[in-house]
Amino acid sequence: MREYQLISDYKHNQTYKESFNELAKQVFELDFHEWYTRGCWNDDYICYSYVDGEKVIANVSVNKMIVTSNGRTYQALQLGTVMTHPDYRQQGLAAKLTNHVITKYEQDYDFLYLFANPSVLDFYPKFGFQKVQESRFSLPASRVKATVPSKSALRKLDVDSADDFALMKEFATSRVPVSTRWGVQASEHLSLFYFLLVFPDSLYYIEQEDVIVLFEREDDQLHVFDIVSKRAVDPEQIIGHLLTNETNVIQFHFMPESDNEHIQAELITETDDTLFVRPSLPELPEHFLFPLTSHA
């Protein structure tokens, strides 16, 4: 079997970086170009890739994370962007890269984790990863007090505006976990990824609260993807700014920091993002959820 060169940490190498991006576009239809040209690729995101000449043909990336659980913090490593060029598959390249990453980092982190799509659910258990079931959280809108509209300065952010992007970067750098019950910090590069590439049309700034909110409305559902703040805030107070007369249910895409007895939690039985962990997570609440905007 042919041997290929293993490279890593090449965020300053334009040739490899562009080849990595071409592979990501081909495999995942993801274009990282705007993300890295705007300075979002930092030291917490490291690619481990095989190259054929100067062409990236397979990759496993690591994301250095800090996970918070009930006030405690854990050093965690999230794997992501696992991909192989179609012409180089069936050679075990992704497996070799995964083993390389595990060997390099497992002694220095409390746990490793990743989110897998349905096509690779049988792949990761071979490396000692175990499937863990998350939950979803919702709240009837009737249980949240709406904010008087005249006092709610909800401003849509524009990712193409230099001033707005500077504001986004400030919040991504200084944000606190969306929940101390279960959340992440030190995830600036991922927050900016979601701002720029996933939810560019769903970003709003609430000046009164000094927070950025990522949300969308779907029929009578209000989907709150993230609340980005530099200080601890009451999520229900923030959501009060987002309610309309048509809103019946609020769907949280993170574990809310709230004691509201009306928040409903149920195990997720079907998902395109299955959580795998190695070797295990710290002691968990009965229901928990990694914030969507922390998924690599």
CATH number, domain of 243, equals 3.40.630
pLDDT score for 151: 55
Name the pTM for this structure: 0.94
Tokens of residue 133, six digits:
């079931």
Residue 45: inside a domain: yes
Contact assessment for residue 111 and residue 278, using Cβ atoms and an 8 Å cutoff: yes
CATH number of the domain bearing residue 27? 3.40.630.30
Count of domains for the chain: 2
Same domain, 111 and 209: no
- 291 inside domain: no
If asked whether residues 152 and 52 sit together in one domain, one would say: no
Residue 140: φ, ψ to 5°? -60, 135
Range of the domain at 254: 137-267
- Residue 296 covered by a domain: no
53's tokens:
């000449």
Claim to verify: residue 184 and residue 246 sit in the same structural domain = yes
Enclosing H/E stretch for 206: strand 203-206
> Each residue of 184-224: pLDDT tens digit?
988 999 999 999 999 999 999 999 999 999 999 999 999 99
- Has residue 295 been placed in a domain? no
Range list of H helices, the chain:
14-28, 33-37, 93-105, 162-174, 188-193, 235-239
Quick check: 33 and 6 in contact, CB under 8 A?
no
The answer to whether residue 150 scores a pLDDT higher than 60 is no
